Amino acid sequence: MSSHHIVRDDQEPALIIANGASCNSELMGQLLEWSPLVIVLDSAIERVLELGIKVDVLLGDFDRNFNPEVYIEHQYPLEIIHTPNQDKTDLEKAFDYLIEKGHKAVNVIWATGKRADHTLTNITNIVQYRDQLKIVVIDDHSKVFLLPTKFDKWYTANTIISLIPVGKVSGITTKNLFYSLDNEELQIGYRTGSSNHVITDGIVTIEHESGDLLLMECWD
C-alpha cells in the first residue's frame, strides 16, 4: 500500500479526492508523495481503496444507503465526517473542514469530468474561499486556481493559458500573452479569455481591478 507519511515543517497542501473522473496514476502519485492529509469525498472511497491509498478523512452526506463505517477496518485510523447539510456541496464542506483545522492550501483531484454541473460548480465555487484557503483544482489536462489582483509567474513559450471570469471581471491587463488585454473586461457567457498562450519564455503578468478571475494552465 502506498503512503503519504512524510509531513514537512511548512505543511504541504492537503489533498482532496472528489468523486469525478479519475486522473492518471503519475499525477496521483506526485500529489500523494507530499500531502500530509488526504480527504476522500463520499462514495469515491470505493475507487480510492482499489488504488491502495491511505486515507485520513472520509467526508460526505453519505446518502443513497452509503455506509462509511465499513471502511474503518481497511483504513484505520480513519476519521469519518458526516455532513448532511444540503446547502453546500461535499467539496465545499471539505474546504470548510480544512479551514477549521488551520490548513492554508489544498490540491483537489477527481473534481472534473463526468457530470458537467459538478465540474462547473467545483471550479467556480473556489472563489468564495479567496481569503481563507489556497485551492488548486488539477486533472490530466489542466490546473485551475484563483488569481490575486496581481499575478506574476514564469512560463515557457506557447504554454496554453485560459482566463475564466466568474461573473464580471474588470480592469484586466496582461503582459507576455499572445492575445493581450489592456484594462479590459471579461464576463462569463459573453467574453472569456480561453486558449490564450505565452509569447516567449519568461514572466507572464496578469492584473485585474475587480471581480473573480480564474487561471487555467492547460497542457493538452
* pLDDT at 219 (0 to 100): 87
Domain 150-218 in CATH 2.60.120.320? The answer is yes
pLDDT at 220 over 80: no
* pLDDT at 46 (0 to 100): 87
DSSP per residue, the chain: -B------TT-PPEEEE-SSSPPPHHHHHHHHHH-S-EEEEGGGHHHHHHTTB--SEEEE---TT--GGGGHHHHSS-EEEE---TTS-HHHHHHHHHHHTT--EEEEES-SSS-HHHHHHHHHGGGGGTTT-EEEEE-SSEEEEE--SEEEEEE-TT-EEEEEEEEEEEEEEEESBSS--SSEEEETTTB-EEEEEBSSSEEEEEE-SEEEEEEEEE--
* Residue scoring higher pLDDT (123 or 220): 123
Q: Where in the chain is the domain with CATH 3.40.50.10240?
A: 14-141
- Confidence class for position 190, pLDDT limits 50, 70, 90: very high
* pLDDT at 2 (0 to 100): 38
Give the percent of the chain with pLDDT over 90: 70
* pLDDT at 5 (0 to 100): 35
Domain 14-141 sits in CATH at 3.40.50.10240
pLDDT at 15 over 90: yes
* pLDDT at 10 (0 to 100): 54
